A = this chain, B = another copy of it.
């Protein structure tokens, strides 16, 4: 009897505990459920946008591509967009005999950085976000974004921002011509005594300076070619010169100075960031341009800025931008604010974008040099280790581009020589240099670089074998 009672009592106790536990769990889960679903219906207008983006981000593309939210949709799912030379539904197939494309300065080496920082760098744009033309009140640009750009320059130490105005442009492309226009004399016409400004640059230079200046063909300026032609010329004292100085230089990565005394200089500092070059000292010039494309890698967003010392040049640039495109996309400014916030928060930490970028580019440069150094047919530009105030040590080179010279007399068209070997490069002539030179981009995807290395290796091996 005792045993029976104890048994049934103990069973009853167990049952009670089970029921209580179950009820407790129901209360806990039920509260959670109600909070997630009922609350959601009232205010969670962001849910479907977030879900869509996650879905696109989760599409598997074998590490050789990615699906985007606004890509082509097949069977209700965005499809993979594959890296060069990869195909197939999941980008798993390597196309045989696919040429290595090292032409463009597409900064996709930074894409993995943003994949890693996906949670911190995403941004949700409301349908009603900043619809106005004058979205920032009396300011033509987002003051928060401007503040973060100043903080970034100050923290990196690559440019002086004190006493500088900031203008935003659609990439630095737009700012380059805006600066040429603003540094040229006003109202040049048949009746006025002022003549157009002469626009020049030191060879080899980024081709857009020339093509853009010629294309817009304003009465206020004229393309006059290589700066070297005007050094010590009598014209250089009588004419107004506008000079482009790219530092570090595109294509060869060298730090540059103005060639003409007394010219108005546009300092293009697109690559003056620690992933590409040592930063010896903060740049401190009158007009300096920068672009998100080369800092964060967001080329597709089209965001650039200029630091401008002179108020009247600044105002002329603002007028140019206003006449040209009125203002800068609020969507891009919103996204860039988030991007710069992440970069700043991680500076000198584990997730430093400059350390990340430097590591990749330095490795690529070293690998390319190792393969090409036995060659007598091809040579690369010489770059030396240099003290970098950001990394606070002497650092080895990590240029954005390799500037290849074909040394054999018969290889007068270096771009064609590489093309023959399955390598797409950008011909020296695009930089107003000899065709004996050509440029290889080192800042594209890992896939692009791996293919480039394979083709270069084959080309050099062939040379070495034939010279035995």
- Judging by beta carbons under 8 Å apart, are A125 and B125 in contact? yes
- Judging by beta carbons under 8 Å apart, are B329 and A69 in contact? no
- Judging by beta carbons under 8 Å apart, are A70 and B145 in contact? yes
Looking at chain A's contact residues, the main secondary structure is: helix
Shortest beta-carbon distance, A233 to chain B, in Å? Answer: 22
A26-B22, A30-B25 given; A323·B46 CB < 8 A: no
- Judging by beta carbons under 8 Å apart, are A57 and B70 in contact? no
A132-B299, A217-B220, A331-B335 given; A171·B36 CB < 8 A: no
Specify which of B108, B114, B128, B319 is in contact with A111 (CB 8 Å cutoff).
Answer: B128
- Judging by beta carbons under 8 Å apart, are B342 and A127 in contact? yes
A420 CB within 8 Å of chain B: no
Specify which of B29, B72, B127 is in contact with A121 (CB 8 Å cutoff).
Answer: B127
- Judging by beta carbons under 8 Å apart, are A122 and B45 in contact? yes
Specify which of B49, B188, B324, B332 is in contact with A332 (CB 8 Å cutoff).
Answer: B332
A94 CB within 8 Å of chain B: no
Closest to A331 in B: B331
Per the bound structure, the CA–CA distance linking A125 and B320 in Å amounts to: 30
Which among A208-216, A263-271, A382-390 touches the partner chain?
A: A208-216
Contact count band on A? 35 or more
- Judging by beta carbons under 8 Å apart, are B145 and A132 in contact? no
Q: Which residues of chain A (87-117) have a CB below 8 Å from chain B?
A: 104-108, 110-111, 114-115, 117
A324-B324, A329-B302 given; A130·B171 CB < 8 A: no
Question: Which residues on B sit within 8 Å (CB–CB) of A126?
Answer: 53, 56-57, 69, 114, 118, 121-122
- Judging by beta carbons under 8 Å apart, are A329 and B329 in contact? yes
Question: Which residues on B sit within 8 Å (CB–CB) of A26?
Answer: 22, 25-26, 29
Which among A136-144, A248-256, A407-415, A454-462 touches the partner chain?
A: A136-144
- Judging by beta carbons under 8 Å apart, are B19 and A300 in contact? no
A66 CB within 8 Å of chain B: yes
- Judging by beta carbons under 8 Å apart, are B122 and A127 in contact? yes
Question: Which residues on B sit within 8 Å (CB–CB) of A46?
Answer: 50-51, 53-54, 119, 122, 124
Task: Beyond the given A29-B30, A29-B33, A106-B134, please list 5 additional residue pairs across the A-B interface where CB-CB is below 8 A.
Answer: A15-B15, A69-B125, A122-B126, A131-B299, A188-B217
Give 8 pairs: A residue, B residue, CB < 8 Å, sorted on A.
A19-B22, A45-B118, A48-B122, A49-B123, A108-B131, A174-B324, A216-B216, A331-B332
4 closest pairs, A vs B, by CB? Answer: A121-B127, A29-B29, A53-B124, A46-B50
